[in-house]
Structure 1
Amino acid sequence: MISTEEAFSILENLSYPERVVEVPLFNARNHVLAEAVFSSINMPPFRQATMDGFAIALHDELHYEIIGEVKAGDFFTEQLESGQAVKIFTGAAVPDSANAVIPVEKITVMDTILSVHERMKPEANIRQLGAQITKGAIALEKGTLLNPAAIGFLAGLGIPTVKVFKKPRIAFITTGNELVHHTEKLPEGKVYDSNTLMLTTALFDAGFDDVQLYQVEDDFDEVWKMLKSAIDNNDVIVTSGGISVGDYDFIGKALESLKVETLFYKVNQKPGKPLLAGKKDDKIIFALPGNPAATLTCFYVYVLPTLQKRSGMDYRYGSQLMKRLADDFIVDNVRSQFLKAFVSDDEVTVLSHQDSGMLNSFAIANALVYLPYGNYRLAKGDKVSVYSI
């Protein structure tokens, strides 16, 4: 059995091949850029009015002759002479011969005569050509995670496709004769399968959409065939259940038969002690315990950072977030603990119902508190290590 820190170190030192794909911008959400993107245009591509008003050719008087109008999407080609103005709307192209925009609240209009209430400085209320970015400049660096704002920015530059790091294809396998789909009637001796929907939702929330689902009963040959298929056709394989040492726990035996290299098995932690990480070629396998809270804990602490690492994202094994305890807490455990918790402002509250089979407190948790093993007392206000989830 190894410590959590040793498990983190093993996973941290793994390397994976970089796979780059070119995708339409619409499909690039939550991907990481594999190369820098350069702007092919100036943005804005013209001098742009920042508000509704009048574009004017400045002169020494306070009165201007109105000779036209410029809506967003129009382009005024006539020459403004000194003392002339055109009505203009936010975002519209300012005529080259205009040198200021005066807002509507600072003018009075009588027929075709515009009277200004104060003199404007040259280039007032005009966003200059290329003010956001100039043609040929780097729009987004390699390694940028493409969130909605980044997608919008690139769309505004007319970028149709981007090269991104390909995300791993994920297999999720649940095992157990006792499992019943949550929509079916529950027979005696059975339990509803919560892990499949829970882990699939967690993967989708984290931006991993390419997920293949498998379910297998507790039979060695069936488990072996299912695992082989999953390993052959996916990059990351996650199993739930069947990894302990019971008579019907076949995951470990099947992985050994399939020549999967064990990176570690059993971590000195609670929940999730019977956790296995394995490797075959560039595929990585996580065999998680079947208890729902243990499954989800191991996912957030070990599986998710690995998926992020393989996708070119920022990732972290181990928490670097420290928060103050809202209450006193006594630690008396031979295993390090990941406790379901709720963070509010700078405080963290350890929740009740910490059993590895209980999800009710996980449903309201937004963090995990990590407490190293030992016998000690923590006082209210002491700082503890926290994982955001």
Structure 2
Amino acid sequence: MNLNSLLLRPPTGLLHPAPVDPDRHTMSRERLLAYLQIKVHHLIQEQDWDSIRIVGGYDRTRGISRYEKSGKLFNTERPTAQAYGRDLLVQAFPGADYVQHYALIIATYLVMTGRPADTVAYQPPGEEECRTALDALDLDLRGDVVIVGWGLEHLAPRSGVWNQGPGYCWQRTQVGGTGVVYLGFRHSIWGDVAGRTVARLARMGAGAVVYVGKVGGLDPGTEPNQWLATGNTSLWGGALVSWDDFFGDYARTQPGVRSGLHVSSPSILLENQDWLAQHAASYAFVDPEIGPMGAAAGRAGIPFGYLHVISNNLASLYPADLSNERHSDVLRRRAILLDRITRIITARLTGGTPLHGAAP
């Protein structure tokens, strides 16, 4: 969707995000601001606007933020922004959760830097718009296990070649006689986008989907970047969702792996102290994607599994959190955990129980 069509679209269904109270968030005020500063587009950080509208739209031809990550193959792209006079249009990859999340980021950042947030509004993308945003994903899958998410450069064979697609890259290999496709995206597959990704992969012939990423821990005794998380149930949309777990009982029995109930949250900004009090007693982990992905896999009739680094702790203050993920010690610890993930996935493929949805 181009800039002109978005600007000319009547501003119906606009919602105004409520900035979060930084003193009630599970991150400290200082760390929350540091997290926001690496996410907010430079045009917002450097000048004021009469209005800021966030919409669903994937356009990499202009308006790229100077604060995008570098030195990585995947998950480097952030929402783009274009000025229209004194108004700013921000385009996030189409997904209801992601558009809301980025609107909350901007509104909270403005409040924390002493500027009014009532200039911020967001327009949730429609279901058809969200679905067609993934039409560019086109792979010939023949019952392959698709490993998607974070850390893929470390998980995939170093000698392999990454094939380039529009907004994504993939690499195919064999592990223990099973076809495996490593699939990474340059843009974020946040929240409901991740669920649609699983649904599309199933339609293209995936036999199973494995998601490798990062979760927040809700147990105060779990130090970040020391443990892996897995499970087969998530609280999503007010209901528990379970799926046919790719790992079965294998991953949860391995050293350094914790299992438990997961809760899906559409935005880190919503995870304040009240949210924590409501969920900490019953749930072990939180992220935006696992619930939608597990539900989509269940509807498609294929196994799904997650094996994540516990990257931060919402219930206790540790040196590492989401504001300093690029620190050298954090990267070193996560590299060790990625090695462990590789060994667990390889063992599952070479010596675990058969995949229910995989081709022979």
Query: TM-score band (shorter)?
Result: under 0.3
Question: Radius of gyration: which is bigger?
Answer: 1
TM-score w.r.t. the length of structure 1 is 0.22
TM-score w.r.t. the length of structure 2 is 0.24
